Amino acid sequence: MIHIAKEEDINSLFSKKRNFYTKEKEKVVRNIIDDVKENKDKALFYYTKKFDNFDVNRQNIKVSEQEVESALKLIPDEEKDVINYAKYRIERFHFAAKPSSFFIEEDGVILGNRVTPCQSCGLYVPGGKAVYPSTALMTIVPAKVAGVKNVYVATPAHNGVVNPYVLYAAHICGVSDIYKISGAQAIAAFAYSTQSVAGVDVVAGPGNIYVALAKKLVFGDVAIDSIAGPSEIAVVADKNANMEFIARDLLSQAEHDEMAGCYFVGLDRKLTKDVKKRFIELADTAKRKDITKVSSKNAMFFYAESVELAAMLIDKIAPEHLEVQLEEPYMFMNMVNNAGAIFIGEYTPEPIGDYIAGPNHTLPTNQTARFASPLSADVFMKKSSIIHYSKSAFFKNARHASKFAEMERLFAHQSSIEVRLNENS
**Could you give the CA distance from residue 256 to residue 262 in angstroms, rounded to a whole number?**
11
Exposed (0-12), middle (13-18) or buried (19+): which is 19, by Cβ within 10 Å?
exposed
Residue 171 appears among annotated catalytic residues: no
**Interacting residues of 383 by C-beta distance below 8 A, sequence separation 6+:** 99, 113, 114, 115
Of 99, 194, 83, 94, residue with least CA distance to 143 = 94
User: In 3D, which of 105, 103, 129 has the Cα closest to residue 115?
Assistant: 103
- Sheet with 202-204: strands ordered across: 178-179, 150-154, 120-124, 202-204, 223-224
Indicate the residue type of 105.
E
CB 125 within 8 Å of CB 204: no
Catalytic residue among 67, 232, 255, 320: 320
Number of other CB atoms surrounding residue 333 within 10 Å: 16
Catalytic residue, candidates 94, 171, 256, 321: 321
> Quick check: helix, strand or coil at residue 222?
strand
According to DSSP, residue 69 is labeled H
Residue 341, strand partner residues: 321
Residue 151's nearest CA partner among 379, 384, 362 is 379
State the Cα–Cα distance between residues 81 and 188, nearest whole angstrom.
Answer: 35
328 carries an active-site annotation:
no
Q: How far is CA 147 from CA 134, 252, 390, in A?
A: 20, 33, 32
Reduced to 3 states (helix: H, G, I; strand: E, B; else coil), residue 105 is strand
Task: List Cα–Cα distances, 359 to 96, 132, 234, 333, 383, in angstroms.
Answer: 10, 16, 18, 17, 22
The answer to whether 361 and 321 have CB atoms below 8 angstroms apart is: no
* Nearest alpha carbon to residue 124 among 40, 18, 200, 22: 200
Active centre residues (catalytic): 320-321
